[in-house]
Structures are given as structure tokens and as C-alpha cells.
A and B are shown apart, each in its own frame.
Chain A
Amino acid sequence: MKHVDEYRDSEIASGLLDKINKASGRSLKFMEVCGSHTVAIFKSGIRDLLPGNISLVSGPGCPVCVTAVEDIDRAVEIAKIPEVILATFGDMMRVPGSRTSLQKARAEGADIRIVYSPFDALKFAQANPARKVVFFAAGFETTSPAVAATLGRAVEERLGNFIIFSVHKTIPGAMRALLDTPALKIDGFLCPGHVSTIIGTTPYSFIAEEYGKPAVVSGFEPVDILQSTLMMINQIEEDRPAVEIQYKRAVSLDGNPKAREVVDRFFETSDSNWRGIAVIPGSGLKLRAEYSVYDAEKVFDITIDVPKDTKGCACGEVLQGIKTPPECRLFAKTCTPENPVGACMVSYEGSCAAYFKYGRR
């Protein structure tokens, strides 16, 4: 990719670090909302390089980690139906439900397939007309347009056996919920890069306007993250909270309106249950009533037992930046990437997995 080397250049990075060192004497805590940022920050060692008064905490931006236990339970029940092929992203396989995971259900005979794109699930539906192919759709605003566009093609082709189980979530509502969490004092948000590619910056306006805090949409290279951090510090020092874009090569003010139109055609907002956090009003996407023949929750009569959360797992607090993974008593003891107890240890982008792999600080 063109110019990527410059965004990894250590000389430019140390220049920015110098600037950050001199920019503020206050203690500031910023949250990176996106799981891909968490991984990038750990990989490049930025947390250790920042001055002591500037800290970065991870947020709820790993869609795998925030998928509710009962939604995993529902997906397992759907997958057990003999005529069903359940397709989903690889990361979802090992997420623990109340009693089992999709991976274990597959070992017990359910037809569960890993896909890279919802489009692959559509191909299964075309190739298996006698089966019902259910795409277990997790993901934020980056992912829901791909799922909506795939459904668009299924509708065009009048494909009757392509079904969606949507647990899609939207980010800005979760950010508001975090700002309203008294236990958490956040001075600014590093906003997700590719979610913003779709939604643009307007949905973040409330952060600056109502809460008076900076919000900077950042790219994923070390230089991007350092520059975004500096932009947030400067906003605070100059007392001018705003939504700014650092990642201008991939994000415009208006985002991708065509992608949002496709999502709006098929989905409407709903309340959504964020694992370990709460049901956040208006933070999910469900299929519109006119597309209920494609909606797994309408097509199948799914009943699950009362869901059980994992005892001792601090995922909920970790996802809100209230605890760091090492502060969970299960971390690196009973909960490891090989044998995850909580969802944050399952996904490559989960905070616990990142702490385990790159550092325990």
C-alpha cells in the first residue's frame, strides 16, 4: 500500500512523541473505542512510550466481545436445526455462550461454517437450495453494509433460503453510555477509523457539544494514533472540544452515504444487549418487518434456557475501561487465549487477548 511506510516511520513517531511530552502537564485518560486500535497500540508499544500523565484505555469496540451470551445461545439453537447451515465470521466460533460455543456445537454435529464475507454465505444458499443458510451477523457499522448489500442480492435473486440472524450494533450509542458511566472518567475518544468510513463524523457531535470532550477519528498506523492523541491533547489545552478527523485518507465528514442507504433499506434501529455492559437503547440493528422472511428471529421459533454469565469474569468492566485485564482475577490463570473464559480473551482484538499477547502492564 502506498505511503504506509511513512505512517510507520520511527523518526516521525518520535517527533510526535516529543510534541506530546511537551503538550500538557495534566493527567489525561483517552479511550480507544475500536479493537483494531487496541491491537495497533499494543503492537507498536505506544502505551509504554507515552508520558506518564497520558493514558490510553480500551473500550467496547470488539463486536465479538460485546455479543451477548444469550445471542450466542440463540445462534447455537439455530445451528442445531437439521436443515440449517449456520455461517459466521471465524472469531465468533469460540465465544462462550451460557453452556456451549458454536465450535463445540459444530463438534457435536451442527453444520456451522466460517466465512470471510457474508457473500460466501449467499453462495452456500445458492449451492444448497434444500437447506436454510443462516448468516449470524455480528459487527458494527463497518460490517452491516456488507450484510445489507448481500441481502439485497438475495432479494434480487428471490433466494428464499438465505436468512440473517442480526446482532449488529452501532457505536455512538455505546460511547454515550460510557460517558454516562460515573465510574469511568474519560477525557476524550479515539474514534474508530473504519466505522467512521461509513458513518462520517456527525454521529459523534454530541461528544464535543454535550459533554465538551474531544473526539478524533484515527487511522491505524503508529503515526496516526500518535497524531490523533496529540490532536486530543491540543483540543483540551486550547479548550476547544471538537470532532476532528486525523484519518482523512479513509474518512470524510459525510462517510459513505450509499452504504448507509443500503443499511437503512433493510435494517432499523433496536435496543441491543452489550455483553457485560447493559441493554443500550437504540444501539442495535434488526431487520425491518417487511423483510421478516429473511429474519432468523421470525423464521424460527427459538427458545433458549435462562442465560448464565460466567462467574468471576470481568469482561463487562474491561469493555468499559473500568478495569484493565490484569485486574480480573481469572486473567492468565483460568482464562487464556487457548482456553478463554470471557469473550475479551477469545477475539484477537479483545483487550484481554491483546494484554496477554503483547504485555501484562
Chain B
Amino acid sequence: MCVGIPGKVTAINGRMATVEVGGAQREIAIDLLDGIRIGDYIIAHAGFAIHKVDEEEALKTLEIIRELTCEIDKYDGAL
């Protein structure tokens, strides 16, 4: 039930934002988040935006994982 749905903000009107989720447009309340801009990715839950997705962090995590798995490849290769 705590599923958060990520979507892209396409319009902002007062305390409501239009968010594109998997091709569909949804009206999401933005009372719980400051500084949302058009183009941001947000996580919505129960009709409210609860977090702005940090793209840099998403990429960083992937990089760490890639490095980890790369290490394994190298290690296995040495055997």
C-alpha cells in the first residue's frame, strides 16, 4: 500500500500538478513538497507528491553497482 508511483511533472496549477504516469495524466497535490518544477520526476502516493526523485543519486547508485559487478568479472577472470 505504500507504493510510490514515479511520474514527470508536466504542469503546475497552484497546489496541484499534472503528472504523467506511464502515459496517463494525473492530478497530484503538491502540498507536501516545496520547489517542484515542470520536468521534475516526483514520487506520488495516495494522490500527493511525497518526494522529488534525485536523478544524480539514481545514476550514482547504478555506477556503484556496476563497479561492484565489474570487480567480480575481473576477479573471476583472474582465476
Contacts and interface: CB of A to CB of B under 8 A. Distances in A.
Interface of A: 1-4, 6-7, 11-12, 15-16, 18-19, 34-36, 61-64, 89, 91, 116-120, 138-140, 142-143, 145-147, 149-150, 152-153, 192-195, 197-198, 223, 227, 230, 246, 248-252, 256, 258-259, 262, 347, 349
Contacts of A64: 1
B48 A12 contact: no
Nearest to B69: A15
A1 B59 CA distance: 13
Where chain B touches its partner, the secondary structure class is mixed
A36 B3 contact: yes
User: In this complex, which of A91, A197, A252, A349 has the most chain B Cβ atoms within 10 angstroms of its Cβ?
Assistant: A197
Contact of B61 (A119, A139, A246, A349): A246
A139 B48 contact: no
Given A7-B62, A12-B65, A146-B45, A140 B32 contact: no
A227 B50 contact: no
B17 interface: no
B24 interface: no
A3 B33 CA distance: 23
Contacts of A35: 1-2
A15 B54 CA distance: 25
B50 A194 contact: yes
Contact of A119 (B47, B51, B53, B57): B47
A149 B33 contact: no
Where chain A touches its partner, the secondary structure class is helix
Nearest to A263: B32
Contacts of B76: 18
A282 B20 CA distance: 38
Interface residues of B, number: 36
Interface in B48-76: 48, 50-51, 53-55, 57-62, 65-66, 68-70, 72-73, 76
Contact of A349 (B1, B6, B55): B1
B51 A250 contact: yes
Contacts of A36: 1-3
Given A2-B55, A89-B1, A250 B65 contact: no
19 contacts: A4-B6, A15-B65, A15-B68, A15-B69, A15-B72, A18-B69, A35-B1, A119-B29, A119-B47, A139-B2, A143-B2, A143-B45, A143-B46, A145-B48, A146-B45, A149-B32, A152-B31, A230-B68, A258-B34
**9 residue pairs, one from A and one from B, having the closest CB atoms:** A117-B47, A15-B69, A249-B58, A142-B2, A146-B46, A248-B57, A146-B48, A149-B31, A194-B4
Given A16-B69, A19-B68, A152-B31, 5 more contacts: A18-B72, A120-B47, A139-B1, A197-B51, A259-B50
Contacts of B68: 15-16, 19, 227, 230
A272 to B, nearest CB: 16
B12 interface: no
Given A62-B1, A142-B2, A258-B33, A197 B69 contact: no
Contacts of A138: 1
A92 to B, nearest CB: 9
B25 to A, nearest CB: 14
Contact of A194 (B31, B43, B57): B43
A145 B6 CA distance: 17
A186 to B, nearest CB: 20
Contacts of A11: 69
A34 B3 CA distance: 10
B69 A12 contact: yes
Interface in B13-34: 29, 31-34
A263 B61 CA distance: 31
B28 to A, nearest CB: 9
A120 B46 CA distance: 10
Nearest to A153: B31
Contact of B41 (A2, A63, A119, A246): A2
